[in-house]
Structure 1
Amino acid sequence: MSLPFLLFSVPATAACQLGPNTVSDQLVLPLRSEVRHDHHNYFGQLLQLALDKTAQDHGPCEVILSQQAKPQARLYQELSRQENIHIIDATVMPERNKRFRAIPFPLLKGLMGYRIAFIRADDQPRFNQVKKLEDLRAFRAGQGDTWFDVQVLRMHGIPVTTTSKYESLFRMLRAGRFDFFPRGAQEVMSEAESFDISGLAVESSLVLAYPWPVYFYVNKEHTLLAERVEEGLKRARADGSFDEFFRAHPLIIAVFEQLNLEQRTLLYLCNPQHSDPALLQQSDAWIRPWPKDLCARFSLDAATVN
């Protein structure tokens, strides 16, 4: 029988201060049912690293990973109500920043914004000819209808077809409803193993890149937890242990070794939600610093492209 939680090893006397008058025996990080790839251990281990970095100041705190998957919307409700969970990893969106307290530290060094696509296998020669954004505009993308990527792609003149059902995107691609299905670099290989991609392939020559960080979020009342996690992450970055963890984790190794990320043609896109030069030029926060003129180089008037 599987356990409902996966525990990391810390002293049995551990306790976690959430707010001025709120303490929990353990810190619960949930598993989302929408997650189609085994990356939750990455975030759990990174969170434990941050807490360990601050244990001398605040005492030990144990992270547990819930093994009972729930829809993302349900988890946001629980976080708002301070029920069952204490912290969640999520891509940064304006509405999330209003609803919860964001811990502003890019947990994947921007890797979520490096997008690699599923395509029809026979179309690889066509994609090999794409060398600039203008070339890519001849292709139609497929995305979930509520995904923020839709806005980014359309702003750059790339037509997009959408659907409400994730699994349908593979069938629609196979049927020729669109030409490519971009996914986060840390997602695409495990999704290739989890879904029927007969007739499809992971595109081998391109990577789209736009700033789209993943942060930890907590309930707004849990100020002490937010401050502790942020301080722990910063200490880990300063002493090199964050980069060591990042480079050694199987999830990250797979991205660079299996996908040849460094050898692909890189097409930058602007994400207007994350265009602050002070953030984008933090060299130690990202896989690589973003171009200083990332958004200035584009005339983003193509939002009407369907």
Structure 2
Amino acid sequence: MFDAMHRPCREPPGVHRDCGIPRFVSVGRTCQDEQRSGGKFGRTSAYLGTPLLCRHNIPTMHRRRFLLASLGAAALGAAGTTLRAHAALAAHFDIVYPRIRPSRDAHAAFALAVLDLALKTANASYTLRSADIEMERARALTELSAPNGMINLHWTSMEAQAERGRNVVRIPIHRGLIGYRVFVIRKERQADFDRVEHFSDLKAFMCGQGLGWIDTKILKAAGLNVQTSTYDTMFEMTEGGRVDYFPRGVVEAFTELDGRHQQEPDLVVENRLLLKYRSDFIFYVAAGEEALAQTIENGLVAAYRNGAYMRLFNSHPYIQDALARAKIASRLTFSLDNPFLSEADRSIPDEYWMS
């Protein structure tokens, strides 16, 4: 039975002056309003998870018991939160990615720097190591789906079909620069490309792309003539004149030609054209390792919010050297559709893309 001195509380939301118990009441309402709406015992304290009660609607003989029980519940809740936090911190991720071919060390360095930043920002415990063998894209994606795959992480182009049934982190690693394509050509062919003024003019040339690449599908869908082969062979085919140009991501082309100058000394980056479509590398994580994918995503989101990602992007030589040499703003740009994106890819916020 409530005591004879009971009266409804008319204080605004907050903490009661006399009993110090927090209450969860809609803004602009009082406990009396809640009682009238039938919410006297139906709502709970945002802090303690207890019924909406205060000094005035608790029997006098039970006030002290109520306070002690409430404080005890709060202490147990805090202890549980601490234990959960320690459990999360105790998780350790052993991350294995495909062995990097020597010619692509520079590309891998930036992706690994982004991965390292994400995991450190998420306060994760982890080790990074490469598998014993190199893998083409299709093989790597297959390994990610295998029950006992050799790897549990890979970075490659976003694509609806590849993402289906896999854990993906939908934050572009290079802010979309993989979809900014410059052309690797023989240097004496520059005069031919100087005559290109419209996208349709490119249909007179033979384009080279890698086997199984999403870029191959995008360029074919745009109506270009495309011949495919392996990555290394494509440079040889361009050098030998079997293809006219080999589109590469703006952050890939210059580094690759620097490393291959002895092998293909006549190859250069064409100096005035650019193909642009929405695409980039994202992290793919093995089936069953949702916690790793979520940790990477959480870390990347936090790194964007605290500015750490942009500091890395704006200072890393792999990115900045490519942008300085490509002179994107001065190029004649042809924008293409990428019909192979998932709806989730299309919904990636603009803040994660180059503008």
TM tier relative to shorter chain: 0.7 to 0.9
8 Å Cα contact 1:120-1:174 kept in structure 2: yes
User: How high is the sequence identity, in percent, across the aligned residues?
Assistant: 29
Task: Give the structure 2 partner of residue 188 of structure 1.
Answer: 253
TM-score, scaled relative to structure 1: 0.76
Say whether residues 1:171 and 2:236 are aligned partners.
Answer: yes
Q: Closer, same or farther in 2 for the Cα pair 1:225/1:126, shift >3 Å?
A: same
> Does structure 2 conserve the Cα–Cα contact (< 8 Å) formed by 1:116 and 1:203?
yes
Could you tell me which residue of structure 2 aligns to residue 218 of structure 1?
Answer: 285
Deviation of residue 82 (structure 1)?
A: 4.5
Correspondent of 1:244 among 311, 319, 322: 311
Change (3 A) 1:82 1:251: farther
The answer as to whether partners of 1:33 and 1:71 remain within 8 angstroms in 2 is no
1:61 equivalent to 2:128? Answer no
The residue that corresponds to 2:111 in the other structure is 43
Change (3 A) 1:237 1:99: same
Contact 1:17 1:225 in 2 (8 A): no
For 1:191-206, what aligned pairs fall within 5 Å after superposition? Answer: 191-195=256-260, 196-206=263-273
Give the residue type in structure 2 aligned to 1:120.
Answer: R
Contact 1:26–1:64 (8 Å) recurs in 2: yes
Query: In the alignment, is residue 141 of structure 1 matched against residue 207 of structure 2?
Result: yes
Could you tell me which residue of structure 2 aligns to residue 117 of structure 1?
A: 183
Separation in 2, partners of 1:67, 1:88: 11
Q: Of the candidates 141, 154, 161, which is equivalent to residue 95 of structure 1?
A: 161
Bigger CA drift: 68-77 or 238-247?
A: 68-77
Question: Which structure's residues are more often helix, by fraction?
Answer: 2
Matching of residue 105 in structure 1 with residue 166 in structure 2: no
Shift of 1:181: 0.8
**242-251 vs 277-286, which moves further:** 277-286
Q: State the number of aligned residues.
A: 266
Query: In angstroms, what is the RMSD of aligned CA positions?
Result: 2.9
SS of 1:27's partner is: strand
Distance across 1 between alignment mates of 2:134 and 2:88? 25
CA contact (8 A) 2:178 2:281 kept: yes
Structure 1 gap segments, 5+ residues each: 1-14, 289-306
Separation in structure 1 between the aligned mates of residue 274 and residue 244 of structure 2, nearest angstrom: 15
Q: Aligned AA for 2:237?
A: M
1:229 deviation in Å? 1.3
| Partner SS, residue 157 of structure 1 | coil
User: Structure 1: how far apart are the matches of 2:92 and 2:140?
Assistant: 18
Name stretches of at least 5 consecutive residues in structure 2 with no aligned partner: 1-85
Aligned to 2:28: none
Measure how far apart 1:77 and its partner are. 4.7
Q: Deviations over 1:223-268 (max 9, x none)?
A: 2222121111111112222111111111101111122223222111
SS of residue in 2 equivalent to 1:177 = coil
CA 1:267–1:25: 2 relative to 1, 3 Å: closer
Single out whichever of 71-80 and 213-222 deviates more from structure 2. Answer: 71-80
In 1, Cα distance between equivalents of 2:245 and 2:133: 29
1:208 and 2:271 aligned? no
1:104 and 1:120, CA in 2 relative to 1: closer, same or farther beyond 3 A?
A: same
Identify the range of structure 1 (244-253 vs 149-158) with the bigger mean alpha-carbon deviation.
Answer: 149-158
- Deviations, residues 166-222 of structure 1 (Å, cap 9, x unaligned): 333233223332211111112111221233223222111111111112111112311
Determine if contact 2:131/2:151 at 8 Å carries over to the other structure.
no
